[in-house]
Structure 1
Amino acid sequence: MGPVRLGAVAAHFGRDVDRTLAKLEAMVAGARRDGVDLLVLPGATIGGYVPDLQFPWASGLSRTEGVQDLPPAFALDAEVVQRVCALAGDLVLCFGFCELEDGLRYNTAVCVTGDGVLGRHRKVHQPLGEYAAYAAGDRFAAFDTPVGRMGLLVDYDKTFPESARALALDGAEVVAALSAWPASVTNRAERLTDDRQSRLFDIYDAARAAENQIVWVSSNQTGVFGDLRFLGQAKVVGPGGQTLARTGTKGGMASVELDVEVEVARARRLLHHLVERRPAAYGAVAHGEGLRHG
């Protein structure tokens, strides 16, 4: 396939869908001018995220008790999704939105081109009170794209090694991890770079790439929404766990050109983690059995 340019975006997106679409038009045009082949936008790109992780069902930007401020929800074939596909054109574009199906709302990431949806992932792992705002997904699956076989994750999913491992075992050589990842809500630091969640965000990005010897493209929201202060820190990580390009806490795009197949093959030339696994030795741990509490 040869070299491709991968871009990971740090940016702020809120409730105003029309404003977001206008912002995306300029963003995608700029990426196209820069020769980007894969552009990964943050989680909750369309319509924003919840304003409060602990009580999303009973709080809003107005702070009026009982008032909900949940993201607008759209079906996968909704006009807004089709408009983003049209914007993508020949780019492979990943973005997040609140998906509506059969009355349930999902925190969803999709990968699209001008031809339509290539892949979809509904966030499986839910922190704190997120279950009150979204239903949970139940699977991880890779899919083919013009930039290679890919997988998608949505923020908290990357905390769990099994998520990325499932995608790698399904043949993904690139994983796009879309986030609306905030600073700690229980122990805030004055500076974002000193925040506990800031350190964990970077650790997970590097570890998941290195564990699976894959290319990792990590996006994130920036700025403040409701009670949440987002970290930014978008990056592209190579299959050895090395950060190839990154943003800071403010908006921007981390971009790098590389040959994914060559880089993954090089990382796996002597030590091939997926081949050298010993599943039989993991026993009940692999299935979550025997978990002890307290």
Structure 2
Amino acid sequence: MKVELFQLAGRDGDTPYNLERTLQTIASCAADSDLLVFPETGLCGFPSASSVARIAEPLDGPSVQAVQRAARERDVAVVVGLIENDAGTFYNTSLLITPEGIALRYRKTHLWPDERSLVVPGDRHATVVWRGVRIGLLICYDIEFPENARALGELGAELIVVCNGNMDPYGPVHRTALLARAQENQLYALMVNRVGAGDDGLVFAGGSAVVDPFGQLLCESGRDECRLSLTLDLARVGAARSYYHYLADRRLPLQGERREHADGRRELLLP
């Protein structure tokens, strides 16, 4: 699977600007790419108390529809985030959008303190297969909790995609966490962070990266806007699990209801 990571500087509350940059970036992707990944809330930026109701969109809204059209035109899957408006309830949501539509929706389950008054946490983890690879999504602060990645591992994930909006001075925290989550679940983990300045004096840390199932760092960005491209060798997932398999050997399974769907999605509902 060929992935492209787009480390961009966004504008909080400026959906037209962010959407246009996203569409331009999708249009410029490599012809043989399978998966494109953008930072956390890449379509609208981060919300504030005064902007959240204005920038939040339903999943059938114009921004998601535009990304769906772009994904169809390029025959590629796109992981992109927004503030979701579900009948007046707001979520920090990432979507896996394929040429056929929304294949996976993930609502951030572990909210950063500043967003807890603005959005509601999600209630489940999920994975789905795209071009033969089972993928799960996490968002920013989620990666700091081992149980989140473990839940995706239980659901068969071979690749965890983290849409990130991590700021100084916490960049090293997510770098360390990403390495650990990949190694302890014996799967690929990639993270795409935002760069530049945001509201309230925040400076985003960059450091987008890809880690293999042995916990080895394959590539890593600096603090400027950039594009990383890498082809993942999925045979390394099996190789990492060939002699010992953490998921099989562990003695403390996670709680929660498991669901299998006809479209290939697997879900674990939080207890």
Question: Is 1:21–2:4 an aligned residue pair?
Answer: no
Write the mapping of 1:56-67 to structure 2, written as runs, cut at 5 A.
56-57=48-49
1:9 pairs with 2:6:
yes
Query: Equivalent residue for 1:278?
Result: 251
SS of 2:46's equivalent?
Answer: coil
Alignment of 1:19-98 (within 5 A): 19-33=17-31, 35-50=32-47, 56-57=48-49, 68-70=50-52, 72-89=55-72, 90-98=75-83
Q: Which residue of 2 aligns with 1:266?
A: 239
Q: Quick one: distance in 2 between partners of 1:125 and 1:272?
A: 27
Residue 138 of structure 1 and its aligned partner are, at CA, apart by 1.1
Q: Residue 198 of structure 1 corresponds to which residue in structure 2?
A: 171
Of 255, 262, 265, the match for 2:229: 255
Partner-residue secondary structure (3-state), 2:246 = coil
1:128-147 correspondence to structure 2 within 5 Å: 128-147=113-132
Q: What TM-score comes out, normalization by structure 1 length?
A: 0.81
- 1:246–1:253 Cα contact (<8 Å) kept: no
Is the deviation greater in 204-213 or in 12-21?
12-21
Q: Deviations over 1:214-260 (max 9, x none)?
A: 11121111111112111111111111111111211111122211222
Q: How much has 1:29 moved relative to structure 2?
A: 2.4
Q: How far 1:75 moved relative to its partner? A: 0.5
Tell me which stretches of 4 or more aligned residues in structure 1 moved more than 4 Å.
Answer: none
Question: For the residues of structure 2 that align with 1:274 and 1:182, how far apart are their CA atoms?
Answer: 32
> 1:39 is aligned with what amino acid?
L
CA contact (8 A) 2:34 2:77 kept: yes
Amino acid at match of 1:117: I
- Aligned partner of 2:207 among 233, 236, 247: 233
Instruction: Flag structure 1 segments of 5+ consecutive residues without an equivalent.
Output: 51-55, 58-67, 185-196, 284-294
Alignment check: 8 A CA contact 2:36 2:76 kept? yes
1:148-175 alpha-carbon deviations (Å, 9 max, x no partner): 1110001111110000100011011011
For residues 96-245 of structure 1, the aligned pairs below 5 Å read: 96-184=81-169, 197-227=170-200, 228-245=202-219
- Rounded to whole Å, the distance in 2 between the matches of 1:233 and 1:30 is 22
SS of corresponding position for 1:32: coil
Equivalent in the alignment of 1:292: none
Is 2:18–2:45's contact at 8 Å kept on the other side of the alignment?
no
Shift of 1:102: 2.2
CA contact (8 A) 2:26 2:71 kept: yes
Among all aligned residue pairs of Structure 1 and Structure 2, give the percentage whose two residues are the same amino acid.
Answer: 32
Report the Cα distance in structure 2 between the residues aligned to 1:7 and 1:213, rounded to whole angstroms.
21
Shift of 1:9: 2.0
How many angstroms apart in 2 are the aligned matches of 1:253 and 1:138? 32
Structure 2 gaps, min length 5: 256-271
- Cα distance, 1:30 vs structure 2: 2.4
Amino acid at match of 1:155: C
Q: Quick check: 2:19–2:44 contact (8 Å CA) kept in 1?
A: no
Structure 2: how far apart are the matches of 1:88 and 1:167?
A: 25
Q: Provide, for residues 90-146 of structure 1, a one-character-per-residue CA deviation record: whole Å limited to 9, x for no partner.
A: 111100000011211000000001210000100011122311111111111111212
CA contact (8 A) 2:128 2:136 kept: yes
Higher Cα radius of gyration = 1
Report if the CA contact (8 A) 1:92-1:146 is conserved: no
Normalised to the residue count of structure 2, the TM-score between the two structures is 0.87
**Structure 1 position 182, deviation (Å):** 1.2
SS in 2 for 1:149: strand
Between 227-236 and 207-216, report the one with greater CA deviation. 227-236
CA shift, 1:79, in A, is 2.0
Q: State the 1:147 CA deviation.
A: 4.8
For 1:126 and 1:22, locate their aligned partners in 2 and report how far apart those are by CA, in whole Å.
27
Which is richer in strand? 2
Partners of 2:130 and 2:185 lie apart in 1 by: 19
SS in 1 for 2:168: coil
